[in-house]
């Protein structure tokens, strides 16, 4: 008897987490939740409103005015991120946001607020959620946990292509490399739910895989759990 499950995909930036998660959810007819976009939206709000990341009172007050939801875009065939009812999908992908999002994500009050929303979104299961602490903190009992990695230079080139597609100009690969290294460090060393591989997560190195190949690999793992043909981890 097929069962409904939660699929948690964690890992480093530019490994293909969000794209793989989105396409997997589409294939399974599950709901895709891009938690990275949620933290990016919070970062955008803080920057737009001059909120000091280091002042607890300002952060806490600001969070009361942050309302995030996703709407399916028929043209792009993917969900767009809305901040306070305004589509901010392109704005949150800028390098400016990328340079600040790890610091914002590390703020305990921000994480508590976002985790509560994420847990609510996944209460009925049938979700694919990607981020950095989904399998370890948001859904520690998820039926399938995946931890994605990739070679740094491959990740840099993927991010360059992503920004080019969004028509950003003056893209500096060395700046992107430094940004990824900085985010890796901050994400892995924060005190509140750092980026680590869950003990029962399957590691997937995407360096030499295309997106369709990644999706197919993860789809097979998901189907094994949905159909109940295995117990435990690979």
Residue 1 predicted with pLDDT over 80: no
Domains identified in the chain and CATH numbers: 6-226 (3.40.50.300)
Per-residue pLDDT reduced to its tens digit, 40-80: 999 999 999 999 999 999 999 999 999 999 888 888 878 89
Tokens (6 digits) for 20: 């793989």
What gap in Å lies between CA 76 and CA 72, rounded to an integer?
A: 9
* Rg, Å, the chain Cα set: 17
Q: Is the dihedral of CA 35, 36, 41, 42 positive or negative?
A: positive
What gap in Å lies between CA 161 and CA 197, rounded to an integer?
A: 27
Strands (E), the chain: 6-11, 31-34, 68-73, 78-83, 86-87, 127-131, 144-149, 202-205
Tokens (6 digits) for 178: 């430094």
Per-residue pLDDT reduced to its tens digit, 178-232: 999 999 999 999 888 899 999 999 999 999 999 999 999 999 999 999 998 654 4
Secondary-structure percent of the chain, ordered helix, strand, coil, rounded to 5: 50, 15, 35
């Amino acid at each position: 008897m097929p069962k409904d499950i939660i699929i948690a995909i964690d890992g480093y930036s530019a490994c293909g987490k969000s794209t793989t998660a989105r396409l997997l959810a589409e294939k399974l007819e599950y709901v895709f939740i891009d938690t990275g976009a949620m933290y990016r939206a919070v970062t955008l709000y803080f920057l737009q409103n001059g909120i000091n990341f280091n002042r607890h009172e300002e952060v806490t007050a600001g969070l009361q005015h942050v309302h995030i939801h996703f709407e399916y875009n028929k043209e792009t065939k993917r969900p767009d991120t809305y901040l306070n009812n305004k589509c901010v999908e392109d704005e949150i992908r800028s390098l400016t946001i990328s340079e600040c999002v790890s610091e914002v994500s590390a703020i305990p009050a921000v994480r508590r607020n976002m985790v509560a929303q994420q847990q609510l979104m996944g209460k009925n299961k049938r979700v694919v959620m990607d981020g950095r602490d989904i399998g370890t903190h948001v859904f520690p009992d998820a039926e399938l946990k995946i931890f994605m990695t990739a070679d740094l230079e491959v990740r840099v080139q993927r991010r360059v292509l992503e920004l080019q597609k969004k028509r950003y100009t003056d893209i500096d690969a060395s700046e992107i490399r430094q940004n990824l290294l900085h985010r890796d460090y901050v994400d892995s060393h924060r005190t509140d739910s750092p980026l680590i591989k869950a003990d029962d997560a399957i590691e997937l190195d995407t360096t030499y895989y295309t997106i369709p190949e990644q999706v197919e690999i993860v789809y097979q793992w998901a189907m094994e759990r949905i159909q109940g043909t295995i117990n435990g981890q690979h």
